[in-house]
Structures are given as structure tokens and as C-alpha cells.
Structure 1
Amino acid sequence: MAKLCAPTPRHHTAYEQPWFVLNSSRYSVMPSEHPAISHFYAFDVALSSDILAVPDGCVDIVFDCDATRPTARICGTPLAAQAVVLHQGHHYFGVRFSPGIIPGFINVLAEELTEQELDLLEVSGFAQRIFERIVQTPLLAEQMRLFNDHLAPRLMGKTSQLTSMVIQQALRHRGDIRIQHLEDLSGYTSRTLHRQFSQDTGLSPKTFCRIIRCQAALETLNTHQDVSFSELALDLGFSDQSHFLRDFKKLVSTTPSDYQRKIVQNAYADRISFA
């Protein structure tokens, strides 16, 4: 049996939700030093219609900091583009966990989070203690400090080494990896890999890799203006361009060409500020 390496996650893809950014008047991102958290973010909703969440393999905690009716939701990854409700004029603070990570301070199974939004205060007694303080402060840095001080120590502990290995390989290969390769690396059968990974993340390894491959496509389109879709499809391991286009449209809700047109017209990169 092959010895599994300990988890060492630090990949720098932002795992952004592009429709959140495009419907915001300002969108701030701050990286996290904690390996279980991809980053923190804050945004003000300018347009509340046609906001979609795209698959990213991540769990989010989203605080609506409305003065009259603040809320906090924990959201699992969707498996296809999915409509979400965000209110125009509201300020939101979010925590995006690293791909495949389920926070340890919630009383929910991983499979119960996938494609779902739950009231955070109903599934976490720890979160109840700091909810009011987080939604009442307007400063992203202070919200981060509160979250880190009270909840970050309870983040880890729900991911096995086997699952961590699959996550790392999927991220390293941008989702273009075969189950046989994972079997060879781990020494475990595909059945064991599937059972353990699904238990830890709520996703199958195949689904997770498909999501990461879509995120890699989004990252490329967000950072490169002159992109050959046929070359991108080949680079990401798709059998042909048609397969890539179909998969992208299902997961993002539009074609790569239309998506790229939107981000150029709306100055996508300029909308994001990195603290």
C-alpha cells in the first residue's frame, strides 16, 4: 500500500464567482493564511437580477450585513450554474473555503451541503457567538479577524489524507486526471477512493475534477484576452472543442465567447480589489 502524503494545500487560484463580481459595485478580496480557507471577500450588490453561482468545489459562508435583517448562510458548491438570491444595495461578507474542505464547526454531513444553502446559525453554535459582531462591523479586516479568532481554530479535522491527496492532484493537474492515476498514487481501489472522497466532500472524484477543470477555464478566460478555445480545450484534456463548449455552458450558463465578451465589456479585472 502506498504511503499517502500529508495535506499541503496552497494553490493560488481565486475560485471566484464571476456573476457575483459582475453584479457588484465593488468587490474586495483578501487572501487567507489558513490552509482551509481560499480567501475572504466583501461586496455590495448593484444589480440583484440574474445572479448565478457556478460550480467551484468550495463551501462558502456568506453574511448579509443588512442593518435590519442580517443573515448568515453556509452554501455548498452547485453542480451546474444555479440562481442565487442577493439583495440590491446590501453589503455582504464572505468566506470561501479551499476546494473540497468542509468546515469542522458545523453539524452537517458533507453530502447535505452540495447544491444547498443552510442557515449557518442553525447548524453551528460556534457561529452564533460572533454573528452579530461580524455583521455590525463595516471593515473587511475586522470581520476577518473575528472569524479567524473564533472559528478558524475549529476548521480542520474532517478531511482524510486520502481525500487530501485526491484534491491536491486534481488542483495540480487542473482537473485533468484519471482515476487510474489516483489508484496508482494511493494504492487504493477506485471504489475506496470514491467512497472516502464522497464522504469527506459530498462529491465524487470525477465530479470534483470536472468542476476544477471548469474553474481552470474561467481563470484562463479571466486573465487572457486572446484565447483559442480549441487550444484551451486540448490543454484542459477535453476530447474535443465541442465537449469543452457543452461542459462550459452547463456549468457557467453561457458560452466561452459570450462569457469573455461580458468580462471585457464590464471590466471584470478592474472590479476586483485585492486588500
Structure 2
Amino acid sequence: MNPSVEKSVNAMLDGVPKGVLHPASGEQKFSLQRYAPSSEAGSFVQHYWIVRWDLRGQEPYRQTVIAHPNVNLVFEKNGTRIYGVGRSTTVRLVQDHGWVIGIKFKPGGFYPLFGAPVSRLTGRSIPLEDVFGVDSAPLEEKILQAPDDQEMVSRVETFLTPHLPSPDPNAALAHELVTAIRDDRNVIKVEDAVSLSGMNKRTLQRLFDRYVGISPKSVIQRYRLQEAAVRIDRGDVTDWLELSSELGYYDHSHFIRDFRSVVGMSPEEYRQKK
């Protein structure tokens, strides 16, 4: 492993990411580790993630995640594919035993490699070959047979680095805007994102369609509902009206409708299923 990659791999990112529903249950079924990219890949890659599980003799487990606005390239035995942004939630069936490694691209970070609107991938997946022009089978075997996480990440970066194009300023802008939406609770509707960006509404929507894959409205909604799920899972919620207000919902019923439309149940039903 070259020194720059080794340094980045050792900068492991701790904690369960937002959007993993009922994480306490999932932590009993699988392990998730995240690793920062090298500086060269960092313009495009948010992080690498590795999931390992051993459920031999146990029932399969279904993990649901509120989909993030990121494209993922997942190396999995006999199933390596590029996954576009999910339309609401994504579900992973964990069974038997195994491991996978994924590249989570930054919002906007996959477009320079794809060269077409990322919205074309939304809600679907495509073979690795369609973008990178290489046979995935031997690459998949080489990466997944690495002796440890560090070497697995190193092999992924060795594959990815020669394919990286020049940085795209619009990709960087898309990432900055998505990050700002995530971090600023005052952004609760598209008009707020328009003000934040300094663009007109149509230009912002075109940017997100091409570089992110979903609309600004959808990005706002997902981040607010991810935060709601985290608060519920932590047991921090005592008043639904107060929570909806803190998340920027002026109408409590609107919050409940959004939560149900994405998660598939009401906030109270979600809490009771813990």
C-alpha cells in the first residue's frame, strides 16, 4: 500500500451514518466500517465502506436505509454493480455470511465519470462495465480476497485512480449545496435552497438533475427525515409537534405524511417497532 492511501485508510470514520433505520438492531447483525479516501480520490469519493456479517444458523435480516443522495459502486461476490440514488428507502437483505465493499461517491462526484445526467441512474443499478469498460469478475475477486480492510481499500483505490477525470467545478458546487442543505435546518423548502445557491429555481433543478440525481426538494426532505429517525431511535422525542417544528415543518400533519411516504409508516409506528 502506498503511503498516501495508508494514511487515508487509517483515518477511519466512526459512527453509524444517518438514515440507517433502527440501527441498534442492525448492529447485532452486521458490522459497518467507513474509510476516508486519499486526497486524489477525495474530489469524487465521500468514503469507502465495508460491511461484514455472519448469520449462519440465523434468520436473514432486512436493513432499511433512507436513501442518501449518493451513487455507490458496490463490489460484491457475483453482484458488483453501480447503484444510483434510491427513490425513497433502500433495503438490503443480509443472510448467511460474507462481506462487501462500496465506494460512496460525493453528491455530484459520480457525474464526471458517468458523463450523463445522474438522474438516469435514480432508482436503478447498472453493471460496472457500462461505465469503466472492464470485466468486473476478476476485479471483484481480487478486491474481495484482500486479507484485511486496509488492503481491500487499497485495491479499490488502485482500480479507481486511473479512471478519475479532472475535477469538475459544477460537481464541487453540487456537493457544497447538498452539504449546506444537510447542515442548515433553516433550509426547509426549495425556495430556501434557491436563496442559498444564488441561482434561479430552474437552474438549480437542472444542476441537481444532472449531478445529484434527485431534486433539491427530495434532498431537503430526506435529510430532515433522517434526522427525525435518529432522534426517535435515540429516544429523544417526547413531543411530535415540537420535533416537526424543530425540523422546519410548520404543519405537523405534513411531517407525518412525509415520514410515512418515505419510511412506510408513521413516526409513532416507527418508534413502537424499536
TM over 0.5: yes
Map of 2:130 onto structure 1:
122
Judging changes above 3 Å, is the alpha-carbon distance between structure 1 residues 178 and 37 closer, same or farther for their aligned structure 2 residues? same
Distance 1:212 1:16, change over 3 A: closer
Question: Aligned ranges for residues 84-95 of structure 1 at < 5 Å?
Answer: 84=92, 87-95=95-103
Match of 1:226 in 2: 236
1:64 Cα shift?
Answer: 2.0
Note the C-alpha offset of 1:77: 2.0
Tell me what 1:113 maps to. Answer: 121
**CA displacement at 1:237 relative to structure 2:** 0.7
Range moving further from structure 2, 210-219 or 28-37: 28-37
Three-state SS of the structure 2 residue aligned to 1:151 is helix
Shift of residue 122, structure 1, vs aligned partner = 3.5
Aligned residues: 248
Q: Secondary structure at the match of 1:145?
A: helix
TM-score normalised to structure 2 length: 0.74
Q: Which residue of 2 aligns with 1:102?
A: 110
C-alpha distance in 2 between matches for 1:236 and 1:52: 22
Could you tell me which runs of 5 or more consecutive residues in structure 2 were left unpaired when the two chains were aligned. Answer: 1-12
Q: Residue 6 of structure 2 aligns with which residue?
A: none
Residue 103 of structure 1: CA displacement?
5.9
1:232-263 residue CA offsets vs partner (Å, 9 max, x unmatched): 21111112332222211221223333434444
Looking at structure 2, the residues matched to 44 and 104 of structure 1 have their Cα atoms a distance apart, in angstroms, of 33
CA separation in 1, counterparts of 2:166 and 2:262? 29
1:136 paired with 2:145, answer yes
Superposition map of 1:1-275 within 5 A: 14-18=17-21, 22=25, 25-33=29-37, 34=42, 36-44=45-53, 46=55, 47-48=59-60, 50-65=62-77, 70-84=78-92, 87-102=95-110, 104-106=112-114, 109-125=117-133, 128=136, 130-137=139-146, 139-152=148-161, 154=164, 157=167, 160=170, 161-174=172-185, 176-222=187-233, 224-228=234-238, 229-263=240-274
Q: How far did residue 107 of structure 1 move?
A: 6.1
Deviation readout 1:3-25 (Å, 9 max, x if unpaired) = xxxxxxx9x98245337984572
Against the structure 1 CA distance between its residues 53 and 184, is the aligned structure 2 distance closer, same or farther, given a 3 Å change threshold?
closer
Identical residues among aligned pairs (%): 23
Q: Which runs of 5+ in 1 are unaligned?
A: 1-9, 264-275
- 1:117–1:19 Cα change, 3 Å: farther
